[in-house]
C-alpha cells in the first residue's frame, strides 16, 4: 500500500481554534455512539472479519472473533474519549462538505465477494474537489485516530492502521483512503493518503480466503510467543486471551 503525506483537512485545526461548531445531527449521533460503546456493541464479531483487527499482529485473534468467542472488551476512557474525538472530526466534515460525506457508513462485502464488515469513520461520495490549495480525492474512505503524540505518525502511519484502512478500501472498491491522526492534547493533525499498489487487493482477498477456510474447519493460527506462558504485552492487551487459552487447552468456553 502506497502512503503519501497530504495537507487536506488542514482547516480542521483552524476551525477548532475559532471555537468549533457542533451540529445537532452529530451531537445526537455522539450520544448514540457513546451509548452503544457503553453497551459493549464492539464485542461481537461472529461471522465477520472486523476491520479493526486486520492490522493486528495476531491472526489467531481475528479467527477467534470470527468464530464468536467471547471478548472481554468493556470500553475504557481511551475508547470513550476516542469516540468523542471521532464525532468532533466528523462534525467538521459534515459541516464543511455537505452532501459529500457519509459518516457511520456500513462497510460490508458485496454478494459472493470477500471483505471486512464494520463501520467507516466517513465515506466521501462522488468526485474529487478542489479545497483551497489542496485537492480532496474522491471517492474515498477515511479513518480517524487520536494519539498522545504525533512524533512517529509524522514519519509514517502505523502499519496496523494502514492494513485496517486498506481492507476497508478493498471491500468498498475505492482506490483512495485518508488516514487522519490528531494529537489529543494540542489538536495538531497529520494526514496520510493511501493508494493500493499492484497486487495489494488480491493479496488481501487471498488472506481472507485462507483464514476463512481454516476457521470454518475449526482450526486456528498458532499462538504467538509468550501467550502460552501468559506473558508479554500482546497477551496482556488481548481481549480474547481467556478464550484463546481455553481453545489451546481443549477446555469448554
Asked whether residue 127 is assigned to any structural domain, the reply reads: yes
Asked whether residue 237 is assigned to any structural domain, the reply reads: no
Q: Which DSSP symbol is given to 221? A: P
Asked whether residue 117 is assigned to any structural domain, the reply reads: yes
pLDDT at residue 153, rounded to an integer: 93
> Domain span at residue 53?
2-220
Whole-model pTM over 0.75: yes
Asked whether residue 180 is assigned to any structural domain, the reply reads: yes
Asked whether residue 139 is assigned to any structural domain, the reply reads: yes
The yes-or-no verdict on residue 113 having pLDDT over 80 is yes
- Split at pLDDT 50, 70, 90, the class of 80 is low
Asked whether residue 65 is assigned to any structural domain, the reply reads: yes
Quickly tell me which residue has 471491500 as its cell.
171
- Split into its structural domains, the chain has a count of 1
Q: What are phi and psi of 234, to 5 degrees?
A: -65, -45
Asked whether residue 73 is assigned to any structural domain, the reply reads: yes
Which CATH number does the domain housing residue 199 bear? 3.90.320.10
The DSSP secondary structure of 82-129, one letter per residue, reads: HHHHHHHHHHHHHHHSTTTEEEEEEE-PPTT-----EEEEEEE-SS-E
User: How many Cβ atoms are within 10 Å of 16's Cβ, its own excluded?
Assistant: 15
d(CA 252, CA 86): 38
Q: Is 170 helix (H, G, I), strand (E, B) or coil?
A: helix
pLDDT in tens, 19-75: 556 666 666 765 676 666 555 555 567 888 999 889 888 888 889 888 888 777 655
Asked whether residue 225 is assigned to any structural domain, the reply reads: no
- Split at pLDDT 50, 70, 90, the class of 251 is confident
Amino acid at each position: 500500500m502506497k502512503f503519501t503525506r497530504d495537507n487536506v483537512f488542514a482547516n480542521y485545526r483552524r476551525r477548532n481554534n475559532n471555537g468549533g461548531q457542533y451540529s445537532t445531527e452529530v451531537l445526537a449521533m455522539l450520544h448514540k455512539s457513546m451509548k452503544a460503546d457503553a453497551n459493549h456493541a464492539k464485542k461481537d464479531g461472529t461471522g465477520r472479519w472486523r476491520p479493526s483487527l486486520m492490522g493486528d499482529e495476531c491472526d489467531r485473534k481475528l479467527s477467534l472473533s470470527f468464530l464468536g468467542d467471547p471478548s472481554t472488551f468493556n470500553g475504557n476512557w481511551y475508547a470513550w474519549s476516542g469516540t468523542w474525538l471521532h464525532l468532533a472530526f466528523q462534525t467538521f466534515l459534515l459541516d464543511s462538505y455537505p452532501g459529500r460525506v457519509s459518516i457511520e457508513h456500513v462497510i460490508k462485502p458485496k454478494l459472493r465477494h470477500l471483505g471486512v464488515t464494520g463501520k467507516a469513520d466517513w465515506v466521501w461520495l462522488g468526485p474529487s474537489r478542489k479545497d483551497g490549495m489542496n485537492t480532496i480525492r474522491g471517492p474515498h474512505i477515511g479513518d480517524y485516530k487520536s494519539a498522545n503524540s504525533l512524533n512517529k505518525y509524522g514519519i509514517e502511519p502505523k502499519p496496523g492502521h494502514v492494513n485496517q484502512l486498506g481492507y476497508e478500501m478493498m471491500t468498498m472498491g475505492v482506490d483512495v483512503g485518508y488516514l487522519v491522526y490528531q494529537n489529543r492534547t494540542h489538536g495538531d493533525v497529520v494526514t496520510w493518503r493511501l493508494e493500493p499498489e499492484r497486487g495489494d487487493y488480491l493479496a488481501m482477498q487471498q488472506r481472507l480466503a485462507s483464514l476463512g477456510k481454516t476457521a470454518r474447519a475449526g482450526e486456528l493460527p498458532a499462538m504467538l510467543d509468550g501467550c502460552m506462558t501468559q506473558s508479554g504485552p500482546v497477551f496482556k492487551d488481548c481481549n480474547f486471551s481467556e478464550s484463546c487459552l481455553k481453545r489451546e487447552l481443549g477446555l469448554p468456553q
